[in-house]
């Protein structure tokens, strides 16, 4: 973070603020390990004993029973899922959990793998680690596996999900064949491209404001043992944009495309293919092992050369290559985390759990985070890639930037909160790029509270979208300019009880619905008013 640090009030806060790396190493990592062990036992032993795929229908009935009870009680409060707000991957915490009636979903199972139809049926709280481990053991894989182990299927559908295969398969929502949704009138609706298709196209990005997701069918593809990864270091902005654009559009050859941008003019563009047998054009690199350098540091070292290089990376190591270092966020928490000594001794304990990082935020670190720190993913049309990198250089000076391609597909009725890019002549281009900016902006005089609203306007002006797990300062009007609410509004009006039960997306993702961890801790100790239902 910045060297400018406001005074702190207590010794504990002083340690948390000024010696966060030491605190993380001595306290957060051991507690994280113990907590991870608890989560592992809970997910893999206790849930296994208590739940089973065969009991899925009973669990759905339990959700319906809770909604029927809410209706019998007069449908007076708004509803939300009961999952603890501290567990979400967002750095913010949902405060609406305190004021709304919590509906327990409790569904963590992988229900069924249909190899003939090439789909896996899963419950919404199944995590990426659980789904990919189950599938890989059977020789399958999801076409796109968002990076972090704890991301949930429900969160990736109701929010958004992207990975480096998204140039080919699109966002997480596009690998979904169907959804089972319990609506606010207690009906179970199966939604697909041909059945309840309006709901099917509007559930993604809706953040649980149309109903409760209780199952989803996801496409699967055959897994292979390795990713053959080709690294191309490039040294001009034009070369970076031209190479990245070209590789993203080559969906026949490239299974994965990613770029890490280290300055305005330097980046490494990476393309990957799946293979079972490493060839002699490069070594096998088990990059995910605890003592290996953090992936973005390993890639940065390649900039020194102008020659492309090839490596064969075991599949799970590739899929979770940024997990140990939370992309590059870890560098600011444990500054010495990539030192070989630390890696050999404690690398296996990384990363600390998100819940604990949030819970130990202090008022001082909150102020610093809001002023200097950025965690944003901007989803920009490929046509504006160069202009976007220049924008980040001029206003943020924050590197590395993560470039992950993503296709935004249309559907016959053009339904959805997001749409493909349309240029001034009306030509459509589905290819977008997720520009991930995580870390401390180095631009002199930078203040995130001023820079974020300007960035959001830049995104709207160029037909981009903002990933909604991150903080937004958009007004409601601008939020509606960014995301097309026309079909969403119509659908909410037509679904019985929908507007009584759920606020709009903006109510959940803006400051109306989310607060910083520090503010949440304060709120918990005060009396919270129940949020009354409304039909407006």
Ligand X SMILES: Cc1cc2nc3c(=O)[nH]c(=O)nc-3n(C[C@H](O)[C@H](O)[C@H](O)COP(=O)(O)OP(=O)(O)OC[C@H]3O[C@@H](n4cnc5c(N)ncnc54)[C@H](O)[C@@H]3O)c2cc1C
**Site of interaction with ligand X (CB under 6 A):** 81, 88-91, 105, 124, 146-148, 151-152, 154-156, 158-162, 207-208, 212-213, 326, 469, 508
> Closest separation between CB of residue 476 and ligand X, Å?
17
- Round to whole Å and give the CA distance between 357 and 354: 5
> Closest separation between CB of residue 92 and ligand X, Å?
9
User: Is the CB of 159 or the CB of 293 nearer to ligand X?
Assistant: 159
Q: Give the helix/strand (H/E) hosting 68.
A: helix 56-72
> Closest separation between CB of residue 200 and ligand X, Å?
15
> Closest separation between CB of residue 395 and ligand X, Å?
22
- Round to whole Å and give the CA distance between 232 and 227: 16
User: Is the CB of 88 or the CB of 254 nearer to ligand X?
Assistant: 88
> Closest separation between CB of residue 180 and ligand X, Å?
10
- Round to whole Å and give the CA distance between 112 and 121: 5
> Closest separation between CB of residue 415 and ligand X, Å?
19
User: Is the CB of 155 or the CB of 233 nearer to ligand X?
Assistant: 155
> Closest separation between CB of residue 326 and ligand X, Å?
5
User: Is the CB of 67 or the CB of 237 nearer to ligand X?
Assistant: 67
- Round to whole Å and give the CA distance between 355 and 357: 6
Q: Give the helix/strand (H/E) hosting 481.
A: helix 476-482
Q: Report how far Cα 266 is from the mean position of its chain's Cα atoms.
A: 26
User: Is the CB of 25 or the CB of 81 nearer to ligand X?
Assistant: 81
User: Is the CB of 90 or the CB of 463 nearer to ligand X?
Assistant: 90
- Round to whole Å and give the CA distance between 410 and 13: 50
User: Is the CB of 241 or the CB of 357 nearer to ligand X?
Assistant: 357
> Closest separation between CB of residue 152 and ligand X, Å?
4
Maximum Cα–Cα distance across the chain:
69
> Closest separation between CB of residue 367 and ligand X, Å?
20
User: Is the CB of 213 or the CB of 518 nearer to ligand X?
Assistant: 213
CA nearest to 299, candidates 366, 212, 229, 356:
229
HEC readout, 319-335: HCCCCCCCCCCHHHHCC
Give the orientation angle of helix 385-395 with respect to helix 237-249, to 10 degrees.
140
Going through 82-175 in order, the beta strands assigned E by DSSP cover 93-94, 101-103, 110-114, 119-122, 140-141
HEC readout, 486-506: HHHHHHHHHCCCHHHHCCCHH
Strands 119-122 and 212-219 turn out to be: antiparallel
The answer for 338, left when phi > 0, alpha when psi is -120 to 50, beta otherwise, is alpha
CA nearest to 402, candidates 448, 439, 371, 353:
439
Give the HSE-up count for residue 68: Cα atoms under 13 Å, Cβ half-sphere.
8
User: Is the CB of 237 or the CB of 248 nearer to ligand X?
Assistant: 248
């Amino acid at each position: 973070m910045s060297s400018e640090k406001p005074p702190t009030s207590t010794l504990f806060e002083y340690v948390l603020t000024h010696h966060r790396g030491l605190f993380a190493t001595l306290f957060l990592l051991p507690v994280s390990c113990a907590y991870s062990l608890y989560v592992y036992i809970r997910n893999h032993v206790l849930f296994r004993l208590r739940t089973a795929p065969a009991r899925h229908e009973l669990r759905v009935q339990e959700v319906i029973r809770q909604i029927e009870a809410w209706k019998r009680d007069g449908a007076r409060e708004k509803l939300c899922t009961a999952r603890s707000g501290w567990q979400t991957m967002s750095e913010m915490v949902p405060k609406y959990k305190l004021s709304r009636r919590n509906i327990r979903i409790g569904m963590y199972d992988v229900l069924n793998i249909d190899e003939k139809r090439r789909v896996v049926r899963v419950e919404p709280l199944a995590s990426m680690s659980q789904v990919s481990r189950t599938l890989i053991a059977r020789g399958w894989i999801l076409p796109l596996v968002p990076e972090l182990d704890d991301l949930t299927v429900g969160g990736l559908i109701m929010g958004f999900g992207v990975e480096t295969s998204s140039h080919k398969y699109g966002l997480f929502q596009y690998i979904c064949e169907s959804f089972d949704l319990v609506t606010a009138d207690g009906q179970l609706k199966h939604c697909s491209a041909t059945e309840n298709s309006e709901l099917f196209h509007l559930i993604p990005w809706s953040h649980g404001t149309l109903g409760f997701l209780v199952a989803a069918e996801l496409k699967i593809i055959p897994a292979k043992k390795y990713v053959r990864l080709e690294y191309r270091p490039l040294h001009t902005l034009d070369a970076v944009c031209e190479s990245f654009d070209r590789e993203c559009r080559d969906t026949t050859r490239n299974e994965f495309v990613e770029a890490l941008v280290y300055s305005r003019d330097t980046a490494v563009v990476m393309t990957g293919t799946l293979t079972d047998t490493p060839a002699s054009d490069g070594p096998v690199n088990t990059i995910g092992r605890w003592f290996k350098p953090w992936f973005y540091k390993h890639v940065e070292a390649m900039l020194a050369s102008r020659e492309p290089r090839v490596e064969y990376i075991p599949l799970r190591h590739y899929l979770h290559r940024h997990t140990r270092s939370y992309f590059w966020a870890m560098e600011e928490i444990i500054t010495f985390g990539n030192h070989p000594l630390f890696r050999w001794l404690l690398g296996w304990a990384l990363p600390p759990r998100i819940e604990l990082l949030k819970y130990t935020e202090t008022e001082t670190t909150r102020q610093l985070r809001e002023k200097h720190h950025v965690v944003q993913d901007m989803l920009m049309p490929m046509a504006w890639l160069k202009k976007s990198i220049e924008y980040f250089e001029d206003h943020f000076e924050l590197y590395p930037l993560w470039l992950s391609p993503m296709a935004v597909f249309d559907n016959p009725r053009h339904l959805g909160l997001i749409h493909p890019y349309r240029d001034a002549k009306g030509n459509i281009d589905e290819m977008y790029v997720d520009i991930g900016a995580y870390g401390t902006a180095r631009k002199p005089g930078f203040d995130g509270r001023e820079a974020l609203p300007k960035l959001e306007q830049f995104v709207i002006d160029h037909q981009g979208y903002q990933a909604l797990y991150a903080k937004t300062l958009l007004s409601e009007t601008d939020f509606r300019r960014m995301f097309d609410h026309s079909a969403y509004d119509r659908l909410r009006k037509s679904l019985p009880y929908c507007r009584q039960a759920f606020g709009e997306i903006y109510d959940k993702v803006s400051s109306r619905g989310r607060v910083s961890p520090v503010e949440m801790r304060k709120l918990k100790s005060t009396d919270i008013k129940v949020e009354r239902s409304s039909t407006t």
